[in-house]
Amino acid sequence: MQTLTLAALAEALGATLRGPGDTVITGLGTLKAATGEQLAFLANPRYRSQLAETTAGAVLCTAADAEHAPGAVLVVDDPYQAFARASHWFDRAPRPAAGIHPRAVVSELAQVHPSASIGANAVIEDGVTIGADVVIMPGCFIGAGSSLAEGVRLWPNVTIYHGVKIGPGTIIHAGSVVGADGFGFAFSAGQWHKVAQVGGVSIGAGVEIGANVTIDRGAIDDTLIGDGVILDDQVHLGHNVVVGDHTAMAGKVGVSGSTRIGRHCLLGGAVGVAGHLDIADGVTVLGMTLVSRSLTERGVYGSALPADRQDRWQRNAARFRHLDELYRRVRTLEKGRRDGD
């Protein structure tokens, strides 16, 4: 665990320190619960009321908020961004040592950089390439011919099929599966006939993929994930989906096959996107929305109705079944009025 003085933190973050430079910070805390040895931050206005009472050793905040802090502050323009940087200095996530665990199973036909860490029970097949500083944790499987560029980290029990390329610095959390067969079947004579999925998956640099995500391999060409994409847990991307750079998807988003999502899009939790669509750059989709047509213009989109009391929701839902009829009745009334009826 790292310890840093406030003076050192201020210098590293380019922050203006108001308070004693020799205070030692040993970790992170919330405004509400931080101790005198912890660093807190204020970015979301929702928590501004907690500032006056905080017992944090120091608070990262803007100049405007700094006025109201009871103790030391590190003044910055973008407190959350500064906190993002500082957070890594106090992260206690263990860093596995370099080398191949004696209980890993690594093909003689794989190339593993000596600085990489291969955990117990990891299985690495023929023709795999593992770059410098890669961390593969226990129970992961890397299929034949796949490549992991430098600095990739796979948490435990991740499955990478054959023919998958992962760019530098990409992180994949536990239980995720990259490169399983796309859902491709021809229906004939009353049965489904599997179409072999011969494409692969190509993932860019600096991508973060949550836990239990599924990204299917392409039917013919590769499924493509751009640089800097962030995917929360349980996202599903079908075969030949294309995701543009720096797009973010919250938990449980599903995107069907062959859909192209632009750059800098934001998809809220459990959004569903149908197949063969085009979503423009900069599109934001609110949680639980169904996207069943292409969205060709930047903007914010929604479709899910919000929770209501059961009695009212049931009455309204029952009326919804007759909405078209209601519309016609209103038209009749309007016509009658126009006719002087």
272 binds a copy of itself (CB under 8 A): yes
Residue that is written with structure tokens 């149908």 in the block: 274
18 binds a copy of itself (CB under 8 A): no
What are residue 202's DSSP bridge partners?
165, 224
**322 is an active site residue:** no
Q: Cα–Cα distance between 265 and 281 in angstroms, integer?
A: 6
212 binds a copy of itself (CB under 8 A): yes
186 binds a copy of itself (CB under 8 A): yes
In the set 173, 239, 246, 322, the catalytic residue is: 239
By CB neighbour count within 10 A (0-12 exposed, 13-18 middle, 19+ buried), where does 332 fall?
exposed
Rg (CA), the chain: 26
Residue 109: how many CB atoms within 10 A of its CB?
A: 12
310 binds a copy of itself (CB under 8 A): yes
The pairing of strands 223-225 and 201-203 is parallel
Min CB(171)–a copy of itself separation in Å:
8
Q: Among 37, 133, 208, 281, which residue interacts with a copy of itself (rule: CB under 8 A)?
A: 208
Instruction: Return the residues of window 91-150 that contact a copy of itself according to CB under 8 A.
Output: 91-94, 101, 103, 105, 119-121, 123, 125-126, 137-139, 141, 143-144
Q: Cα–Cα distance between 115 and 128 in angstroms, integer?
A: 16
53 binds a copy of itself (CB under 8 A): no
Packing angle between helix 310-320 and helix 323-338, nearest 10 degrees? 70
8 binds a copy of itself (CB under 8 A): no
Pattern 311-340, a copy of itself, x by CB under 8 A: -xxxxxxxxxxxxx-xx-xx--xx-xx---
User: Stretches 3-11, 14-22, 62-70, 196-204: which one binds a copy of itself (CB under 8 A)?
Assistant: 196-204
- Catalytic residues, which ones? 239
